[in-house]
A and B are shown apart, each in its own frame.
Chain A
Amino acid sequence: MTTSLAPAAGRAVTRPAPGPRRRPPRQTRMLFLLPAAVFLGLLSIYPLVTLLRMAVSKVTAATLNADWAYTGLENLRAGFESGDTTAALSRTAVFVVVVTVLGMGLGLGGAIALRTSGRWSGALLALMVFVWALPPVVNGSVWKFLLADSGLVNTVLLATGLRDTPVPFLYDQYWALGAVAFVNSFAVIPFNALVYRAALLTIDPEVFEAAQLDGATKSQQVRHIMVPSVRPTTLVLLILTLVYGFRSFDFIYVMTYGGPGTATNTLPFLGYLQAFVRYDYGLGAATSVVAVLGVLVLAVLYARSIRKEEAHG
């Protein structure tokens, strides 16, 4: 804690005890939502409606700028019947689990480790944000080089005798899905770490001091102080990471283009292929809607947990 804030801290101790609760009229704060509602209403709702309409219509390059024929659930049926959507769903599930577990785990772990002040932490955080801000075509290409047969990772594995043959990171159907999921987590960890760190910094240092006096170990501090106090942040990061996993396709695009064959065709990449390679906008929109529905389930869970949080808080 910086010294300039010390007097303020002194005053905080003498803050009046919360008297009889005189809550301000809460709901007037609804007005704060107005600018966002107007702005998003103007610029985001129309694209959303367009996507939904596309999903239930026959839209190709030829009809995009003309009238769309309503076909109901035909696109959805076609997607599932061809087997593409079902296969993509299970790949997406694997992908999202890997991205979420690695992204959240190393995000929080990194934030806790980087809480220490010092040159290393500062430089590492800057490094991570630097990498995070690089465009996917750069990060994806770099990892494509690093994971190639003659890339650094395989060179090290072969030199240390851990493997006799190069690991087929990007061209074996099972390894490839894992590899693109890893690189996607790589891209989300700095973001999660940065937000977690900001949340951790808001914990009152006195709490840690008290815990130390009581002889709490590091892991106890993490478990009983840090994790509970960043719970709201965890919730929102969890949602954002899941959403990221469900919609991310640029690393797949750069690293495998969904291959070998169709082995890394996740839902977002499948939707991209359908809409912008095959120009079947309707089919692509339907695939995107399937992904949105998947996330909607998570959104309901999020809303419920927030309700709970409010009940407690």
Chain B
Amino acid sequence: MDINGNDARPTPRRRRWLTLASLAAASGLLLAACTGGTSAGGGDATGGSAGGDTVTVWHYFSDENQVRLMDELADKFEAEHDGATVENVFVPYDQLNSKLVSAAGAKTGPDVVVFNGAEASTLALGGALAPLDDYWADFADADKVSPSVIHQVDGTTYAVQGYVNLLGLWYNADILAEIGVEPPTTMDELEAAMAKAKDAGYAGITLSALPQSQGEWQAYPWITSEGFSYDEPQADALAAGLARVRGWVENGWLSQESVTWDQTVPFQQFAAGKTAFAANGNWQMGTAKSDAQFEYGVVPLPLSSTGGVYLGGEGEGIGAFSKNPDLAWEYLTATYLDAKGQLLPAEIVGSLPSRTDAAADEAVTGNALLEPFAQTITQFGANYPASVIPAQSVADVQLTLGQAWSAAVGGQKSPQQAADDAIAALGPLLD
């Protein structure tokens, strides 16, 4: 290589130098161009609440049916409000809360937030939600909405749910017919059916034992059925519930792999047709319809009288830094809080309306798959999260119990050990 640098001629090195120099220049230009603003809202480039006639909605839905629901809700509102537009913005589930809290710190954010109802307290404490008290006081249909879906923190209302989601016991009717059992109504019947299914070469049940809030949500029916309650947490009742499900693993009815499953995978496993039961939600109707090549049905989880099934679902609230909270409220009352609007989630994704009049609609009561879930609400319905848990401890409690659930099902700890550790950790959190 010529190291003596022949100057004038454009040597390959010179060209390389030029390339690098232009790279540097290009990056500068690019930055300048990019700061030009890509905001659709015009004016100040926040992309959150834009004011005017636009309602910006942040949500975490990406499932095909859920996205369609968001579009149809937007269409409904736009049709009823001349000149108004709805902008739905997807934010991945894991990022939604921290993005909302960061945005609140920068005094920006969306007009409407659709989020996991259980996390209302986190968002309210983080300053991302606006109080709804004044709107709610003037809302004519407030008495039609089930009180269990109104999220309050320290006496202030921050969000309401337009529908609820909950767990039921899905069964593979073909397998049950083959082994000659009826859909179970008691725990003993369920365990007997799983034993028979195993003898016939099938898996008994799928559920999620992931060490986080989804796990806690799945564990709750089984542990409360043995008498556990957050009002007075008892290690023995918790241990009994954990031991029962760990027993299913040891009997070969439930795969220990469930500790790695979120709630999606076990239902996809069930839909593949080799499992008798799945403890899963009403929102799986779409998956069941598209993937399951067999007859299926749902019954309420076969719990004891102390058993509880969480009433979950997405909370809807107004962003704390919405420039147009009145329009945002109009959006909510035209969609999630409207009797007709509530039928859209029921039809499209199989959620249960939270208004009494919508819940009594033919579209809901006439649906054989929704009926057992509606029955579960009256029989076992439990507030999610339990109202006794202080707002700032909700996430902690869910993680603690989810980890205990996973540790017991996965055999990291004995059920008794997992229960004792969990109760010790819960003590200070529930005070």
Q: Do chains A and B touch in the complex (CB under 8 A)?
A: yes
Q: Is B412 an interface residue (CB 8 A)?
A: yes
Q: Give complex CA distance A64, B404 in Å.
A: 29
Q: Quick one: given A61-B101, A149-B255, A261-B407, are A144 and B260 in contact (CB under 8 Å)?
A: yes
Q: Quick one: given A261-B412, A278-B396, are A61 and B125 in contact (CB under 8 Å)?
A: yes
Closest to B429 in A: A278
Q: Is B418 an interface residue (CB 8 A)?
A: yes
Contact of A170 with B257 in the complex, beta carbons under 8 Å = yes
Q: Is B221 an interface residue (CB 8 A)?
A: no
Determine which of B3, B105, B410 lies in contact with A263 in the assembled complex, contact meaning CB atoms within 8 Å: B410
| A255 cross-chain contacts in B, Cβ below 8 A | 260
Within 8 A of B (CB), among A247-285: 255-263, 273, 276-280
Q: Number of residues in A with C-beta < 8 Å to the partner?
A: 34
Q: Quick one: given A261-B211, A261-B404, A276-B98, are A65 and B122 in contact (CB under 8 Å)?
A: no
Q: Number of residues in B with C-beta < 8 Å to the partner?
A: 41
Q: Is A234 an interface residue (CB 8 A)?
A: no
Q: Give complex CA distance A286, B157 in Å.
A: 34
Within 8 A of B (CB), among A1-20: 5, 8, 11-12, 15
Closest to A149 in B: B257
| A262 cross-chain contacts in B, Cβ below 8 A | 211, 403, 407, 412
Main secondary structure of the interface of A (DSSP, over half): loop
Q: Give complex CA distance A261, B408 in Å.
A: 7
Contact of B122 with A257 in the complex, beta carbons under 8 Å = no
Contact of B406 with A259 in the complex, beta carbons under 8 Å = yes
The count of A-to-B residue pairs whose CB atoms sit within 8 angstroms is 112
| A279 cross-chain contacts in B, Cβ below 8 A | 97, 122, 126, 395
Determine which of A11, A61, A64, A260 lies in contact with B412 in the assembled complex, contact meaning CB atoms within 8 Å: A260
Contact of A259 with B101 in the complex, beta carbons under 8 Å = no
| B399 cross-chain contacts in A, Cβ below 8 A | 273, 277-278
Contact of A171 with B257 in the complex, beta carbons under 8 Å = yes
Q: Is B2 an interface residue (CB 8 A)?
A: yes
Within 8 A of A (CB), among B1-47: 1-3
Q: Is B271 an interface residue (CB 8 A)?
A: no
Q: How far is the CB of A20 from chain B (nearest CB, A)?
A: 19
Closest to A263 in B: B412
Q: How far is the CB of A190 from chain B (nearest CB, A)?
A: 25
Contact of A171 with B259 in the complex, beta carbons under 8 Å = yes
Determine which of B125, B212, B411 lies in contact with A260 in the assembled complex, contact meaning CB atoms within 8 Å: B411
Within 8 A of A (CB), among B396-423: 396, 399, 403-404, 406-413, 418
Contact of A260 with B211 in the complex, beta carbons under 8 Å = yes
Q: Is B256 an interface residue (CB 8 A)?
A: yes
Q: Is B392 an interface residue (CB 8 A)?
A: yes
Q: Is B281 an interface residue (CB 8 A)?
A: no
| A65 cross-chain contacts in B, Cβ below 8 A | 101, 104-105, 126-127
| B298 cross-chain contacts in A, Cβ below 8 A | none
Q: How far is the CB of B402 from chain A (nearest CB, A)?
A: 9
Determine which of B257, B392, B410, B412 lies in contact with A62 in the assembled complex, contact meaning CB atoms within 8 Å: B392
Most buried by B among A64, A144, A257, A273: A257
| B349 cross-chain contacts in A, Cβ below 8 A | none
Contact of B404 with A257 in the complex, beta carbons under 8 Å = no
Q: Is B332 an interface residue (CB 8 A)?
A: no
| A171 cross-chain contacts in B, Cβ below 8 A | 256-260, 410
Contact of B104 with A259 in the complex, beta carbons under 8 Å = no
| A309 cross-chain contacts in B, Cβ below 8 A | none
Determine which of B1, B392, B410 lies in contact with A173 in the assembled complex, contact meaning CB atoms within 8 Å: B410
| A11 cross-chain contacts in B, Cβ below 8 A | 1-2
| B279 cross-chain contacts in A, Cβ below 8 A | none
Q: Is B210 an interface residue (CB 8 A)?
A: yes
| B123 cross-chain contacts in A, Cβ below 8 A | 61
- Chosen A-B contacts, 22 in total, with CB atoms closer than 8 Å, are A12-B1, A61-B122, A61-B392, A148-B257, A171-B260, A255-B260, A257-B212, A258-B403, A259-B406, A259-B407, A259-B410, A260-B259, A260-B406, A261-B408, A261-B413, A262-B407, A262-B412, A276-B98, A277-B212, A277-B213, A279-B97, A280-B396
Interface residues of A (CB under 8 A from B): 5, 8, 11-12, 15, 60-62, 64-65, 82, 144, 148-149, 168, 170-173, 255-263, 273, 276-280
Nearest 5 A/B pairs, CB to CB: A260-B410, A261-B407, A261-B412, A62-B125, A61-B126
